[in-house]
Amino acid sequence: MEYKDEKYATIHYQKYLDLDKLLDCQHLRSVKLQKPAHEEMLFIITHQVYELWFKQIIHELESVIVMFKKAQVDERRLGDAIARLQRVEVVMQLLIDQIGVMETMTPLDFLDFRQFLFPASGFQSFQFRAVESLLGLPEDQRMTYHNIKYSSVFSEKKQQKLEDIQTNGSLFDWINKWLERTPFLRLDGFDFVVKYRDAVQKMLNKETEAITHADYLTEREKEKRIEMVGSTDTYFKAILSRKNHDQLMAEGKKRLSYDATLAALFINLYRDEPILQLPFQLLTNLMDIDELLTTWRYRHAQMVLRMLGNKVGTGGSSGYEYLAETARRHKIFLDLHTISTLLIPRSELPALPVELKKKLSFYFTHQ
């Protein structure tokens, strides 16, 4: 029974979830064409569930972007952003696991209805393209098929929505700007780049000396090991030179700006400082999401190989080859992953000035 006053009206489970509509969305083409294929129900439901989860991911990403679009991010909201990104991670793990459900269908089962799907294709999932764009996959780095713009398969209205995401800034863009504002790199007479370079050089000198005096190595082995150790002019060249870093950005080999990269490095190196623990967790979440998305792409490609071999996809792509290549190339937060190249042991970290340590801590004095 429902009250007439909507403010206090009760609602039934069926109506609240709109289950009549939801459960009436599975229309098997094989049945319509009088060639019923049992497995088509699984195929439809699996993809519909994907789209529902894409909608949730979009909901979370848009809310996090709103937090970081502000000129000054409310640091008290970092916990909310992290919680929502962790939710995205859990959902993406579900998307990966869901492939296992799809694989309970055999290749012959799929062939019972595959001919009825042409030219429908996963390429036509607007929400998945929106997820990629919201995270920050740039259009000029996307793989295309038949040299057609990825958004051309959508209506003008949806193309405009994808264009708006690019115009208004992705999560990558806003995280980049947030990192650039990190205030601890040059503070109270502490120049992080100078101190970091000195620490790296001391570490390399120590390693080189240890190799040189190792009596169990031949001269040739010593040369090879010293070469592997590298130097500040080779191994750390980009991070120690704004000019070199900017050149790599111009060549499309890096996307995170020089200042943002320095900030990400600083956060990673001094992650144990209380004020930096949440920023470090946030950067970790972004890398986790990137890794999960890559894993999903790879698992999807493997499923297609298992189901279709080298057959052409229903959308006209090269099928497995195309999907496998996107897993390799469509990485969004690669620059955060490669920060690990620049890390040095905690024992080699430059000591922070006392005042800076206080600012990075939960400092309390009793009067």
Whole-number pLDDT of residue 355: 84
Whole-number pLDDT of residue 296: 96
Whole-number pLDDT of residue 1: 46
Which pLDDT tens digit goes with each residue over 293-316? 999 999 999 999 999 887 765 555
Whole-number pLDDT of residue 364: 54
Residues 6+ apart with CB under 8 A from 78: 278, 279, 282
Unique residue bearing structure tokens 């609240």: 16
Strands 186-187 and 190-191: antiparallel
Whole-number pLDDT of residue 122: 83
Which pLDDT tens digit goes with each residue over 325-348? 888 989 999 999 999 988 888 998
Instruction: For residues 105 and 207, give the distance between their C-alpha atoms in angstroms, rounded to a whole number.
Output: 55
Which pLDDT tens digit goes with each residue over 52-68? 999 999 999 999 999 99
Whole-number pLDDT of residue 149: 83
Yes or no: say if 30 and 116 are a contact pair by the CB < 8 Å rule. yes
- What residues of the chain score a pLDDT lower than 70? 1-8, 145-146, 188, 231-235, 238, 312-318, 363-367
Cα distances from 110 to residues 47, 309, 343, in angstroms, run 14, 12, 48
Which pLDDT tens digit goes with each residue over 98-122? 999 999 999 999 999 999 998 888 8
Model's pTM, two decimal places?
A: 0.89
> Which domains are seen in the chain, by residue range?
115-359 (1.20.58)
Backbone angles phi, psi at 254, to 5 degrees: -140, 150
Whole-number pLDDT of residue 231: 67
Residues 6+ apart with CB under 8 A from 323: 297, 300, 301, 304, 317
Whole-number pLDDT of residue 103: 95
